[in-house]
Chain A
Amino acid sequence: SQKIEQNSEALNIQEGKTATLTCNYTNYSPAYLQWYRQDPGRGPVFLLLIRENEKEKRKERLKVTFDTTLKQSLFHITASQPADSATYLCALLVSGTYKYIFGTGTRLKVLA
């Protein structure tokens, strides 16, 4: 069955450093991948979309890579700030549908 894995353990980093979060998938060949941010008690908020033919996408301090050979996406936050502390979810589009499968998310904590 299709499976998405994100680091289940929380990631703690120092303010100003680059945070790197991982999204691995198996039994799947998605054409699109999205990253969302979710704060406690709230719904996810869309951050970035990357297509299978794009190796990298940037938006301000955010960068996403998509390696279809490794079946992996990396999500980077440069110059991290305490306000970046949240859970980050990756989501893969199920081919031929409008449905997305979500990972469990990685909780990021940026220490001041």
Chain B
Amino acid sequence: EADIYQTPRYLVIGTGKKITLECSQTMGHDKMYWYQQDPGMELHLIHYSYGVNSTEKGDLSSESTVSRIRTEHFPLTLESARPSHTSQYLCASSEGGRRPYNEQFFGPGTRLTVL
């Protein structure tokens, strides 16, 4: 069982609201990731981090921002939610070190609906 947690699991919110999706892991992993996944579609990387104070944008353009102040915590923030942000958001982590192929441990996801 992976020790990676996401809250909330489900969120329905109105347009224009600011939201933060929480992600925490207790495995001490250096690398953390945020993916966006629509039903039946592939995971798209939107943000990743190699360690504290390190964040990078992924391949999918996103209006969200992330921070990595602590190793275990990697929150994602949307300053002004829009209906186009409706999706499943998955957080993942993997070990640090020089091995690039470490498996990723995924959280249960946050299902976001913006009305």
Segment with Cβ contacts to A, from B13-21, B40-48, B62-70, B73-81:
B40-48
**Interchain pairs with CB closer than 8 A, number:** 56
B residues within 8 A CB of A45?
2, 106
When the two chains form their complex, are residues A97 and B100 in contact, meaning their CB atoms are under 8 A apart?
Answer: yes
When the two chains form their complex, are residues A43 and B103 in contact, meaning their CB atoms are under 8 A apart?
Answer: no
A86 at interface (Cβ–Cβ under 8 A)?
A: no
A59 at interface (Cβ–Cβ under 8 A)?
A: no
| A104 touching B42 in the complex, CB below 8 Å, given contacts A49-B101, A49-B103, A98-B100 | yes
When the two chains form their complex, are residues B100 and A43 in contact, meaning their CB atoms are under 8 A apart?
Answer: no
B112 at interface (Cβ–Cβ under 8 A)?
A: no
Q: How many residues of A contact B (CB 8 A)?
A: 23
A25 at interface (Cβ–Cβ under 8 A)?
A: no
Partner of A102, one of B42, B103, B109, B111: B42
When the two chains form their complex, are residues B45 and A99 in contact, meaning their CB atoms are under 8 A apart?
Answer: yes
A82 at interface (Cβ–Cβ under 8 A)?
A: no
Partner of B48, one of A93, A98, A105: A98
A residues within 8 A CB of B45?
99-101
* A interface footprint on B13-45 (CB within 8 Å = 1, 0 otherwise): 000000000000000000100010000111101
In the complex, how many angstroms separate the beta carbon of B69 from the nearest chain A beta carbon?
A: 20
* A interface footprint on B69-107 (CB within 8 Å = 1, 0 otherwise): 000000000000000000000101010000011011111
List B residues at the A interface (Cβ < 8 Å): 2, 31, 35, 40-43, 45, 48, 50, 58-59, 90, 92, 94, 100-101, 103-109, 111
